[in-house]
Amino acid sequence: GENVEQHPSTLSVQEGDSAVIKCTYSDSASNYFPWYKQELGKRPQLIIDIRSNVGEKKDQRIAVTLNKTAKHFSLHITETQPEDSAVYFCAASYSGTYKYIFGTGTRLKVLA
């Protein structure tokens, strides 16, 4: 069935370093890939998304890359700051469907 694998489950980086979170999806019809950030005790919030007609998208310190051939996409955070500490969820979906397939989440800790 449809599946999204997310790695790593936890990630610790020093402040100022880069962080990379990777997701692999199973359904080749998937064409929309959002990333959500969930701070402790808060709601998930969309931070960046990418559609299958684009290979890379950037927004300040965050970027997402997509490799459709390999069916994986990654979140890149540069110059990490303590406020980047949160759980990050990837997801995959395709047009006309009712839901995402969420990844299992990555807990990012940025050490000051």
Partner 1 sequence: NAGVTQTPKFRILKIGQSMTLQCAQDMNHNYMYWYRQDPGMGLKLIYYSVGAGITDKGEVPNGYNVSRSTTEDFPLRLELAAPSQTSVYFCASTPRDSNYGYTFGSGTRLTVV
Contacting residues toward partner 1, per CB under 8 A: 31-32, 34, 36, 42-46, 49, 89, 93-100, 102-105
Buried b (16+ CB within 10 A) or exposed e, 49-86: ebebeeeeeeeeebbbbbeeeebbbbbbbeebeeebbb
Tell the smallest beta-carbon distance from residue 16 to partner 1 (Å). Answer: 27
Alpha carbon distance 27, 101 (integer Å): 10
Tell the smallest beta-carbon distance from residue 6 to partner 1 (Å). Answer: 9
Alpha carbon distance 63, 51 (integer Å): 13
CB nearer to partner 1: pick between 97 and 112:
97
Tell the smallest beta-carbon distance from residue 60 to partner 1 (Å). Answer: 17
CB nearer to partner 1: pick between 30 and 74:
30
